């Protein structure tokens, strides 16, 4: 029997989240919003403002600028922040929902500080001596009489080839374990740092590109030149990565020190002193040109949930030269600042509000809701008739965009059971099955909140 492989698709579940359809901000070269692009529909002014924020981040000149997205619920504030992050690509992005700062174990300022440092990246450039090439042969030598497995490999011989040369390396068994971990096989392009013996798999040699369509691998060209050479290696880390790496206790490999490590892990924390030390080293790296700052984006959603202490922390942190660009979002109007009885717009103290650029998001028209729902139906892979979409869009205007979006998948389930496309009839049925917020409130009001 011959297995058919060409047309088999993996049935690994594809999870779709609320913002899967958002790819980028959908702007043209001049920064104007294209009415419908990258998953976004309408909300043009806000998208253009976020485009300017993206530019600020790319230019790296302005530290600590902050933007507040303000508008009613369901108008795309979270979507805009994610769109901005996806627009920026390889800058660090840290996402905090304000309620996360209230933890019984960790101080509020600690949570905020951690997220700040997750949004500050470094590109560390180092010139290292490496052996780089396509793997031609891997030959492991086991310890005599030991059980099989990567750990029992004593030495390993690897033959690497570039377009020009070929070289056989005789290496220690620990290198073999790294090869196993990264699943390195013949035909992969790798490099091995000559000082540390660190192995990095770069991808599959591009001459195998037509080999298999099932492979979801990165293809890279076979390097030119000699196998042994100097290579500029760029590493992306955030300050938070450095904090964590340097806070972990280091010990030996014997059993006692490993057990000690378990005891210590809970106790070691990232102290202010450690952070200052790290900052000093980082500053020196930057001055020497070894590292380059890669300021990213910190997104604080539902920021009206922060309290006065958090706001005063933010005030100070935003003025530091290392501060990332911060994007805040809130759907509240004038409300009390948490922890005080002062009323202020969006629940943010006026001194902080004064430092923010405020971007307003507006509600949607029926035709915009129609288009958004259409995009969602696509990513959720639910087929709807034109009439069904129109009906859903109407429901969206009467209730909310989110409610209408949630009905899509429910309709999909019903239609699948009946093996038909979603039509108006099905939309109507599902509409009657689930209450929207207004109806739910109405029911509660008429039943004295169920307290009978």
Q: Which listed range, 7-15, 67-75, 158-166, 388-396, lies at the site for ligand ATP (CB under 6 A)? A: 67-75
Q: Is residue 23 part of the contact set for ligand ATP (CB under 6 A)?
A: no
Q: Residue 160 CB, nearest distance to ligand ATP (Å)?
A: 47
Asked if 328 and 69 count as a contact pair (C-beta separation under 8 A), the reply is: yes
Binding-site partner at residue 40 among ligand ATP, Mg ion, none, CB < 5 to 8 Å by type: ligand ATP
Q: Which residue has the tokens 């490496």?
A: 130
Neighbours of 118 (CB within 10 A): 21
How is 322-355 classified by DSSP, letter by letter? T--EEEEEE---EEEPBTSS-EEETT--HHHHTT
CB nearer to ligand ATP: give 22 or 227.
22
Please state the length of the chain. 452
Residues in CB range of 66: below 8 A, 6 or more apart:
318, 325, 326, 327, 328, 355, 356, 357
Q: What is the CA radius of gyration of the chain?
A: 28
Name which position in 24, 77, 95, 275 contacts ligand ATP (CB under 6 A). 77
Positions of E strands within 239-333: 291-295, 297-301, 325-330
Q: What angle do CA 44, 393, 441 make, to 5 degrees?
A: 105
Q: Is residue 330 part of the contact set for Mg ion (CB under 5 A)?
A: no
Q: Which listed range, 69-77, 152-160, 221-229, 281-289, lies at the site for ligand ATP (CB under 6 A)? A: 69-77
Q: Which listed range, 39-47, 239-247, 258-266, 442-450, lies at the site for ligand ATP (CB under 6 A)? A: 39-47
Name which position in 66, 75, 78, 400 contacts Mg ion (CB under 5 A). 78
Strand partners, 167: 160
Residues in CB range of 275: below 8 A, 6 or more apart:
113, 117, 239, 243
How is 109-137 classified by DSSP, letter by letter? HHHHHHHHHHTEEEEEEEEEEEEEEEEEE
Q: Is residue 372 part of the contact set for ligand ATP (CB under 6 A)?
A: yes
Q: Is residue 264 part of the contact set for ligand ATP (CB under 6 A)?
A: no
Q: Is residue 374 part of the contact set for ligand ATP (CB under 6 A)?
A: no
Q: Is residue 296 part of the contact set for ligand ATP (CB under 6 A)?
A: no
Q: Residue 331 CB, nearest distance to ligand ATP (Å)?
A: 3
Binding-site partner at residue 324 among ligand ATP, Mg ion, none, CB < 5 to 8 Å by type: none
Q: Is residue 401 part of the contact set for ligand ATP (CB under 6 A)?
A: yes
Report 308-337 residues binding ligand ATP (CB under 6 A).
Answer: 331
Q: Is residue 76 part of the contact set for ligand ATP (CB under 6 A)?
A: yes
Residues that bind ligand ATP (CB under 6 A): 18-19, 22, 39-43, 73-79, 331, 372, 401-402
Residues that bind Mg ion (CB under 5 A): 78
């Amino acid at each position: 029997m011959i297995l058919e492989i060409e047309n088999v698709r993996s049935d690994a579940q594809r999870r779709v989240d609320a913002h899967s359809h958002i790819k980028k901000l959908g702007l043209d070269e001049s920064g104007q919003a294209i009415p419908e692009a990258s998953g976004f529909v309408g909300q043009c002014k806000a998208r253009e403002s976020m485009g300017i924020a993206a530019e600020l981040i790319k230019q790296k000149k302005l530290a600590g600028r902050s933007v507040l997205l303000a508008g009613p619920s369901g108008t795309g504030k979270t979507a805009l922040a994610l769109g901005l992050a996806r627009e920026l690509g390889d800058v660090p992005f840290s996402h905090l929902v304000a309620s996360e700062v209230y933890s019984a174990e960790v101080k509020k300022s600690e949570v905020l500080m951690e997220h700040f440092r997750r949004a500050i990246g470094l590109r560390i450039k180092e010139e290292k001596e490496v052996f780089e090439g396509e793997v031609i042969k891997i030959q492991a030598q086991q310890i005599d009489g030991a059980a099989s497995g990567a750990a029992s490999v004593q030495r390993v011989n690897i033959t690497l080839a570039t377009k020009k040369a070929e070289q056989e390396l005789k290496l220690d068994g620990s290198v073999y374990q790294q090869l196993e971990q990264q699943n390195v096989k013949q035909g992969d392009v790798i490099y091995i740092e000559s000082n540390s013996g660190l192995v990095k798999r770069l991808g599959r040699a591009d001459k195998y590109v037509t080999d298999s369509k099932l492979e979801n691998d990165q293809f890279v060209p076979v390097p030119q030149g000699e196998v042994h050479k100097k290579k500029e290696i760029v590493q992306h880390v955030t300050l938070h990565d450095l904090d964590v790496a340097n806070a972990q206790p280091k010990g030996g490999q014997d059993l006692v020190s490993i057990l000690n490590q378990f005891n210590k892990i809970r106790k070691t924390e990232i102290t202010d002193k450690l952070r200052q030390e790290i900052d000093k080293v980082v500053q020196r790296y930057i001055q020497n040109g070894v590292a380059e700052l890669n300021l990213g984006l910190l997104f604080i959603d539902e920021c009206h949930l922060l309290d006065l202490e958090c706001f005063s922390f933010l005030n100070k942190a935003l003025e530091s030269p290392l501060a990332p660009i911060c994007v805040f979002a809130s759907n509240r109007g004038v409300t009390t600042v948490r922890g005080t009885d002062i009323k202020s717009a969006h629940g943010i103290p006026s001194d902080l509000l004064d430092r923010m650029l405020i971007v307003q998001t507006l509600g949607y028209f029926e035709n915009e809701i129609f288009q958004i729902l259409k995009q969602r139906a696509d990513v959720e892979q639910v087929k709807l008739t034109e009439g069904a979409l129109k009906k859903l869009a109407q429901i969206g205007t009467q209730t909310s965009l989110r409610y209408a979006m949630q009905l899509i998948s429910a309709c999909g389930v019903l239609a699948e059971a009946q093996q038909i496309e979603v039509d108006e009839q099905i939309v109507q049925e599902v509409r009657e099955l689930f209450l929207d917020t207004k109806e739910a409130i109405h029911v509660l009001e008429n039943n004295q909140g169920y307290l009978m």
